[in-house]
Chain A
Amino acid sequence: MMDYRNTGDPALFGLAAESVTSDGPVSQPFSEGRPDRRASGRRARRDRRLTGMSRPTQGSDTPEGAPAPIAERGSESEDCCGGGFLAGYSLAMAYFPDQSWDGIYEDEEAALKQGTLFAALDFPFCPGCRR
């Protein structure tokens, strides 16, 4: 039985603290008694629907319908071209803004010293510092 209280994830904690009825979600305190496998399965399916992704879980007794541990899901895709360590997670979309010709260091000596002609790309390496 997976206990969402042990995941350390506040979002899952909040979701796990609810159950769904025909009237909608109703907040309930955690039961300290025998766990309801059907309820935990419903919670897991709803978690995936709400978050759009599967979350890795701790422990070996994964409830019915809950996401499988990462190691198991990764091994399923070892002999194909996708997945790997993060198999099962939603894909992300990467983007970067188009660079514009402004903020140019007019002093070429300064540009050489800074290692870039563009002020927008000037991020001096400074371990332990915050800009």
Chain B
Amino acid sequence: MNEREKLMRRIQACCFVLTETGLYLDAHPSCRKALRYFEKYSRMRDEALRQYEAKYGALTYNGIHAENGWNWVTEPFPWEA
């Protein structure tokens, strides 16, 4: 697994944990432990996403910096990597 794949895997795992924790919080919205867990993984996801997009380009529209041009269609799509 190369560096790009590792970062992508990390993003996927963090997003999965956020989804699972979010579903739990839907039923337990005041659970402090779950809230802290969500915050922790939200930061981890953001950091992994920042690292990935800095090296390999945007994963979604949200990661596009339009001042540099519209490279969403000029570079490989995330699923083509």
Contact = CB atoms under 8 A, between A and B. Distances in A.
B33 A108 contact: no
Nearest to B37: A104
Max count, chain B CB within 10 A of own CB: residue among A99, A108, A116, A118? A108
Contact of B34 (A101, A111, A112, A116): A101
Interface residues of B, number: 17
A116 B24 CA distance: 11
Q: Report, as a range, how many residues of chain A touch the other chain.
A: 10 to 19
Interface stretch (B6-14, B51-59, B62-70, B72-80): B6-14
A107 to B, nearest CB: 9
B47 to A, nearest CB: 13
A23 interface: no
A101 B28 contact: yes
A122 B67 CA distance: 46
A112 B13 CA distance: 6
B42 interface: no
20 contacts: A99-B24, A99-B27, A101-B28, A101-B33, A101-B34, A104-B37, A108-B10, A108-B13, A108-B17, A109-B9, A109-B13, A111-B16, A111-B17, A111-B20, A112-B16, A116-B20, A117-B17, A117-B20, A117-B21, A118-B24
Interface of B: 9-10, 12-14, 16-17, 20-21, 24, 27-28, 31, 33-34, 37, 41
Interface of A: 99, 101, 104, 108-109, 111-112, 116-118
